[in-house]
């Protein structure tokens, strides 16, 4: 098995394994769901990476459409690489999350300032969480449990994340307010 090293190629393999797509469609996927919670990448990373994956035989162009679009699919080797990557446990994956960083640094501020930020987090996570829950409730036909399940698992994950942060922020506010300076 090749050493792909980075996560981007595996993200692409994963998306293509669920459904063949063009680079343009992959770019849109990174701009929404995936890029929002898991891994972001712009089209300037994606297109060259697709070419590299194609060279190594992990993906292949299965359709050429209008405006020069190329639809890629994973090959058997590509799927094997993806499977092997997902089944191999890394003790600690790369993490880089600016929002979480902000939460960590909160205690560097004076309590009054920290409370301002925490209240904003409470609001924001409530909005985003219920937005996701609404999407899941309104469109059960689009992301049915038991079919591809991709959007479904991811959406539930996102919703729970927001709920967890929401609860944490409320807890933190209470702590800060009850602890006198």
Binding site for DNA (CB under 7 A): 5-8, 22-25, 27, 40-45, 47-51, 65-70, 94
CA distance from start to end of the chain: 57
Choose the stretch contacting its own copies; rule: CB under 8 A; options: 45-53, 57-65, 80-88, 130-138: 80-88
73 contributes a contact to its own copies by CB under 8 A:
no
* Closest approach of its own copies to the CB of residue 145, in Å: 5
103 contributes a contact to its own copies by CB under 8 A:
yes
* Closest approach of DNA to the CB of residue 163, in Å: 27
Cβ neighbours of residue 7 under 8 Å, at least 6 residues apart? 39, 93, 94
25 contributes a contact to its own copies by CB under 8 A:
no
| Residue 161: Cβ within 10 Å count | 15
Q: What DSSP line would sit under 41-61, residue for residue? A: --HHHHHHHHHHHHHTTSEEE
* Closest approach of its own copies to the CB of residue 46, in Å: 15
Distance CA 80, CA 114 (A): 47
Closest to 128 in 3D by CA, of 168, 155, 96, 98: 155
* Closest approach of DNA to the CB of residue 82, in Å: 17
Cβ burial of 151 (10 Å; 0-12, 13-18, 19+) is: middle
Contact positions toward its own copies, by CB under 8 A?
7, 10-11, 13-15, 17-18, 33-40, 82-83, 86-87, 89-90, 92-109, 113, 116-117, 120, 145-146, 148-150, 152-154, 156-157, 160-161, 163-165, 167-168, 171-172, 175-176, 179-180
């Amino acid at each position: 098995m090749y050493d792909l090293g980075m996560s981007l190629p595996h993200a692409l393999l994963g998306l293509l394994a669920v459904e063949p797509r063009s680079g343009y469609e992959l770019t849109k996927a990174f701009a929404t769901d995936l890029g929002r919670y898991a891994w972001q990448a712009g089209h300037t990373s994606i297109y060259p990476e697709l070419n590299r994956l194609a060279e190594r035989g992990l993906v292949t162009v299965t359709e050429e459409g209008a405006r020069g679009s190329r639809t890629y699919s994973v090959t058997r080797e590509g799927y094997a690489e993806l499977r092997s990557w997902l089944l191999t446990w890394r003790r600690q994956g790369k993490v880089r999350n600016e929002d979480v960083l902000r939460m960590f640094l909160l205690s560097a501020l004076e309590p009054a300032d920290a409370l301002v930020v925490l209240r904003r987090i409470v609001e924001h996570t409530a909005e985003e969480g219920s937005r996701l829950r609404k999407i899941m409730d309104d469109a059960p036909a689009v992301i049915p449990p038991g079919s591809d399940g991709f959007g479904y698992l991811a959406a539930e994950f996102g919703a729970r994340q927001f709920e967890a942060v929401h609860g944490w922020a409320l807890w933190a506010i209470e702590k800060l307010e009850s602890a006198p300076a």
